[in-house]
Homo-oligomer: A and B are copies of this chain.
Amino acid sequence: MQSTTTVEEAIRNRRSVRRYQADSIPLDRLTRLVELGVWAPSGGNAQTWRFVIVTRPEIIRALHAVAPGMLSIPPAVIAICQDKKLAFQRGGKLGQECTSVMDAAMAAQNIMLAAFAHGLGTCPILSFHSEAVARILGLPEGIEAELLIAIGKPAEQPVPPTRTVGDVLFINQYGDTNGKQ
């Protein structure tokens, strides 16, 4: 199923949704989101990301118990992980410590925008106990969860926090808001 939602509509209207309807999300829909996630760029085309789609309620409850950032129990979770050993092999220290984190985040943004376009709410979660998540998902040594994305049909319509670029955008030099070229 294709959505006609434009890029800008998705970017402007996606909200972090933290309360979900109980309806389960079909696995093929979740797989499709991951397929769009891997079209994100990766540093040096390393593609060292690994994804675990979680739909089993007992595993989601276990994740919830070790993830303070997960405020309710979603019907599905996508854990975006990185093979940190492979990231080191392919990108050295920068790849292991920085690029792999950014790659995971860019893939996450693809997934969250695409989910929005299909009527699904998402919330990125970074606050979790890393070793506990690794144990729950059976991650081998060297594979680390970078972030969790909670996914479900929205049960709330959050008001967006204000955004403005007035104070955070500079032209050519930090502090210069004039932009005289």
> With A5-B7, A165-B31 in contact, is A39–B53 under 8 Å at CB?
no
**Are A6 and B8 interface neighbours, CB within 8 A?**
no
Residues of chain B within 8 A of A169, CB atoms compared: 31, 34, 50-53
Do B53 and A170 touch across chains, with their CB atoms under 8 A apart?
yes
A103: nearest residue on chain B (CB-CB)? B105
A105 engages B101 (CB within 8 Å): yes
A164 contacts across to B, CB distance below 8 A? 38
In-complex Cβ contact of A105 among B106, B112, B172, B174 (8 A): B106
B41 touches A12 (CB 8 A): no
Per-residue interface assignment for chain A, residues 1 to 36, with 1 indicating a CB less than 8 Å from any chain B CB and 0 otherwise: 011111110111010100000000001000100111
A110 to B55, CA, bound (A): 28
Dominant secondary structure at the A interface: mixed
- The docked-state distance in angstroms from the alpha carbon of A115 to that of B34 is 22
Quick one: which of B51, B126, B163, B181 contacts A170, CB cutoff 8 A?
B51
A124 CB within 8 Å of chain B: yes
Chain B residues within an 8 Å CB radius of A11: 36, 39-40, 110, 113-114
CB distance from A5 to the nearest CB of B (A): 5
Q: Which residue, A14, A137, A169, has most C-beta atoms of chain B within 10 A? A: A169
14 A-B residue pairings within 8 Å (CB atoms)? A3-B8, A7-B7, A35-B163, A49-B168, A50-B169, A52-B172, A54-B172, A55-B172, A55-B181, A59-B172, A101-B101, A102-B108, A102-B126, A138-B173
Q: A31-B165, A55-B181 are in contact. List 15 more A-B contacts (CB 8 A).
A: A3-B6, A3-B7, A7-B7, A8-B117, A14-B39, A16-B41, A38-B168, A40-B109, A41-B112, A41-B124, A50-B169, A50-B174, A52-B171, A138-B173, A138-B174
